[in-house]
Amino acid sequence: MTQPAPQPPPQHVAIIMDGNGRWAKARGLPRLEGHRRGVETVRTVVDTARELGIRYLTLYAFSAENWKRPSEEISGLMGLLDFFLKRELNNLIKEKVRLHTIGRIDALPANVQRELARVKEATQHFTEWNLVLALNYGAQQEAADAARAYATAVQEGRENPDDVSWERFSQYFATAGMPTPELLIRTSGELRLSNFLMLQLAYAELVFTPTLWPDFGRADFVAAVEEFHRRERRFGSTSEQLPSGPR
């Protein structure tokens, strides 16, 4: 029997990294300790993405709604982000990973903005591997920002509303130029999107795992990608119409 042809990996995987607080609570530790362990998981998933041939990895690190958290937790998270960026600069250069961000970066603390700018600039010429951090990101805020930029373009005569389409309008989104995420993973058992990439995920395969983010390892990532490969992606057509035929 001939082996089935190996399936290409998803080009873009987006992850909602959730469950740090519960991981810490279960151990009687402060929430920040869970976030600290979560940073180590980020290192693992960046490595695994490259190993699997996933060119874009988008990580939801801080939502536009996460400002509601206690101020000590927010400053702890910002401190960890600063630490992560300083620690990873050389690794990202060595591994040829380009850093991108989506979200309203200008509301982040000045030191974090500085580190982000430094890492982005140092990695901007890399094309093969891409790490996208969603920071102060919300899909609804992104849509509002896109609408504002589009309206300005109309006022300036650069766009004609008669020509609007998703292909065109999406160029005003923070993810412009990136492939659409084909796989979304959310850890910690929560079954919701929490304002993450809602339009871009229109046809993504959604994989939810009960594993808490600090416990999410290489094997969990591989299992999620295997689950993705088992799905039949029809995009509105019938099974029979697919080039691979019905399953």
- Give residues in contact with ligand IPE (CB under 6 A): 16-22, 60-63, 66, 77, 188, 190, 192, 194, 213
What Cα–Cα distance (Å) separates residue 177 from each residue in 7, 22, 26, 230? 24, 36, 41, 28
Nearer to Mg ion, 20 or 58 (CB): 20
Phi, psi of 184 (to 5 degrees): -115, 130
The partner in contact with residue 60, picked from ligand IPE, Mg ion, none with C-beta cut-offs of 5 to 8 angstroms by kind, is ligand IPE
Angle at 200 between CA 194 and CA 203, to 5 degrees: 100
CB of 34 to Mg ion, least distance (A): 10
Least separation, in Å, of the C-beta of 63 and Mg ion?
9
Task: Return the one option of Mg ion, ligand IPE, none that residue 150 interacts with (CB less than 5 to 8 A, by type).
Answer: none
Q: How far apart are CA 153 and CA 174, in angstroms?
A: 16
Alpha helices in the chain (DSSP H): 20-26, 31-52, 71-95, 110-123, 139-155, 166-169, 218-230
CB of 207 to Mg ion, least distance (A): 17
Q: Judge whether 20 counts as a catalytic residue.
A: no
Q: Starting from the edge strand earliest in sequence, which strands make up the sheet with 12-16, in order?
A: 97-102, 129-137, 56-63, 12-16, 183-186, 205-208
Catalytic option among 18, 20, 130, 136: 18
Q: Is 130 a catalytic residue?
A: no
Tokens representing 68 are 């509601």
Measured from the CB of residue 219, what is the shortest distance to ligand IPE in angstroms?
21
CA distance 34 to 187: 14
Q: Please select the residue that binds Mg ion; options are 9, 13, 14, 18, rule is CB under 5 A.
A: 18
Query: Which of 78/153 has CB closer to ligand IPE?
Result: 78
Based on the shown chain and the rule CB under 5 A, indicate whether residue 216 belongs to the binding site for Mg ion: no
* Active-site option among 47, 66, 82, 145: 66
Residues catalogued as catalytic: 18, 66
Binding site for Mg ion (CB under 5 A): 18
